[in-house]
């Protein structure tokens, strides 16, 4: 098992927490990356410029950058030389059978393909209202964070809630430096991001893992549908 990129021991240490979480399965993992590899990803995280796509309406305010400089939320295959060597190495590893197999073992699902891989950023005024997708039980959403010095209690991490109301938050991460929040989609998988009021940048990357077969396609929402394209940006 390749541990030069992902700290798999730290992930699997939270398996029981994930499997027993209520009212839906979620987990928080600190130091998810090997430290040396994380430092290289952190140092080469893409700067916000005109290539980022703003999403702003009454439900959210955030910025996204797709792999392959695409405006399509469905993952683009292969490398993208506009990103660093380490980001390309990580992206290819995410698509590997070893990565997918480990997350199948961790979640107990039948995920077998990467559906989405995109950079996400929030700045002052950024937020996402609490919501639920409920597109199917074989959809796992990963939200990895690259923000040093986040203060305890400050908004910016993706929270889990027992209902679509911020008063129902049951977990919110505050260590956003080399950490991961993941959850399994379900009818009760409420989540969102509280509004950021400080002049900070919350860096992250979002990955969708899902079941796919050649006959029926994706087990969740069609990636070219309006619902997927509008709801996808998460973290």
Sign of the C-alpha dihedral, residues 69, 75, 81, 83?
positive
In the chain the first and final C-alpha atoms are separated, in Å, by 28
What distance in Å separates the CA atoms of residue 169 and residue 212, rounded to the nearest whole number? Answer: 32
pLDDT at position 69: 62
* Assigned token pair, 161: 């809630």
What distance in Å separates the CA atoms of residue 224 and residue 17, rounded to the nearest whole number? Answer: 34
Buried b (16+ CB within 10 A) or exposed e, 47-73: eeeeebeebeeeebbbbbbbbbeeeeb
Spatial contact of 156 and 143, defined as CB atoms under 8 Å apart: no
Residue extents of the structural domains in the chain: 8-228
Which bin fits 59, alpha (ψ -120 to 50), beta or left (φ > 0)?
Answer: alpha
pTM of the predicted protein model: 0.93
CATH 2.60.120.620 fits domain 8-228: yes
In order of 30, 157, 159, 192, the CA distances from 46 in angstroms are 22, 19, 24, 23
pLDDT at position 231: 53
Per-residue pLDDT of the chain (235 residues; tens, 9 = 90+): 888 999 999 999 999 999 999 999 999 999 999 999 999 999 999 999 999 999 999 999 999 999 986 666 777 788 999 999 999 999 999 999 999 999 999 999 999 999 999 999 999 999 999 999 999 899 999 999 999 999 999 999 999 999 999 999 999 999 999 999 999 999 999 999 999 999 999 999 999 999 999 998 999 866 666 655 555 555 5
Spatial contact of 157 and 174, defined as CB atoms under 8 Å apart: yes
pLDDT at position 25: 98
pLDDT at position 158: 98
Say how many CA atoms lie within 13 Å of 212 toward its Cβ.
16
| Bridge partners for 65 per DSSP | 119
pLDDT at position 71: 64
């Amino acid at each position: 098992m390749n541990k030069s990129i992902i700290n798999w021991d730290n992930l699997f240490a939270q398996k029981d927490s994930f499997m027993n979480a209520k009212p839906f399965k979620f987990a928080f993992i600190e130091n998810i990356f090997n430290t040396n590899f994380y430092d290289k990803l952190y140092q080469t995280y893409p700067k916000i410029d005109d290539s980022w796509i703003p999403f702003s309406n009454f439900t959210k305010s955030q910025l996204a950058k797709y792999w392959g400089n695409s405006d399509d939320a469905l993952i683009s295959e292969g490398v993208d030389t506009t990103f660093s060597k380490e980001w390309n190495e990580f992206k290819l590893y995410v698509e590997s059978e070893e990565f997918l197999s480990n997350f199948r073992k961790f979640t107990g699902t039948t995920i077998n393909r990467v559906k989405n891989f995109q950079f996400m950023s929030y700045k002052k005024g950024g937020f996402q209202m609490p919501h639920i997708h409920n597109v199917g039980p074989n959809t796992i959403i990963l939200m990895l964070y690259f923000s040093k010095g986040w203060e305890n209690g400050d908004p910016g991490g993706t929270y889990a809630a027992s209902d679509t109301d911020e008063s129902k938050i049951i977990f919110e991460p505050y260590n956003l430096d080399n950490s991961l929040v993941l959850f399994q989609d379900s009818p009760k998988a409420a989540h969102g991001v509280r509004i950021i009021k400080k002049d900070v940048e919350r860096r992250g990357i979002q990955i969708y893992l899902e079941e796919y077969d050649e006959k029926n396609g994706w087990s969740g929402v069609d990636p070219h549908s309006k619902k997927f394209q509008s709801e996808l940006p998460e973290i």
